[in-house]
Amino acid sequence: MPIKERYHANREKYLIWKRQSDARRKDKIRAWSKRYYKKNREAIKSKSNRWHHANKASANARTRRWHNNHPAESKANKSNAKHVRRAKEYGTRVDTYGIYLWMKRVKSSSVVVCHWCGDSMLGISTVFDHVIPISKGGSHTIGNLCVSCASCNSSKKDKMPNNWTVNSQTFFCL
């Protein structure tokens, strides 16, 4: 019996064997995939872009399905996308889902206090600030974020805490 006919006659058995085999060799397959992607990055990106442009409706539908099936991760990605991109550019750590959960909890609080000036504000109007700015090597993780009022956040910008004063108070670098 030729190989094709044998495959089609025993397709279910083959697929089970393939899944089990891949599960055993997961690390090898992952390493091979990384090497292959590194070697063929431009060709893969080009092929992917061509497919997306040729199949925009299908690609958009697949993206919508993923967002509908993963609402928490989706919202975390939307709210943190700018910071995640910048953190990756600077090569720092990123914790998107943890940040999303923390921000959701803070925003649902009735009253919160600004980390910098101590003013009280509604949780819904809270702004989050990177203590050590991403541009200065700070990570985009919960440990580097603090609750801030809009005025403190906009006046601090990308300054280090020890180079910035609020209400004539200087902060020491952590």
Tally of domains within the chain: 1
Kindly calculate the radius of gyration of the chain based on its CA atoms and give it in whole angstroms: 24
Q: Is the pLDDT of residue 172 over 60?
A: no
Stronger pLDDT, 139 or 75, i.e. the higher one = 139
110 falls within a domain: yes
Q: Using 50, 70 and 90 to split pLDDT, how confident is the model at 90?
A: confident
67 falls within a domain: no
- Which tens digits make up the pLDDT trace of 52-69? 999 999 999 998 898 888
What separation in angstroms does the CA of 121 have from each of 109, 125, 149, 169?
10, 7, 7, 20
- Mean pLDDT value of segment 25-37: 94
Domain that holds residue 109: 92-174
6 falls within a domain: no
Q: Is the pLDDT of residue 149 over 70?
A: yes
56 falls within a domain: no
Whether the full predicted model's pTM is greater than 0.85, yes or no, is no
Instruction: Kindly report the CATH number assigned to the domain that includes residue 116.
Output: 1.10.30.50
99 falls within a domain: yes
33 falls within a domain: no
The predicted structure's pLDDT at residue 164: 81
The predicted structure's pLDDT at residue 66: 86
Q: Say if residues 158 and 133 touch (Cβ distance below 8 Å).
A: yes
22 falls within a domain: no
Secondary element (H or E) of residue 112: strand 111-113
Question: How many Å apart are CA 83 and CA 75, to the nearest integer?
Answer: 14
Helix (H, G, I), strand (E, B) or coil at 154: helix
143 falls within a domain: yes
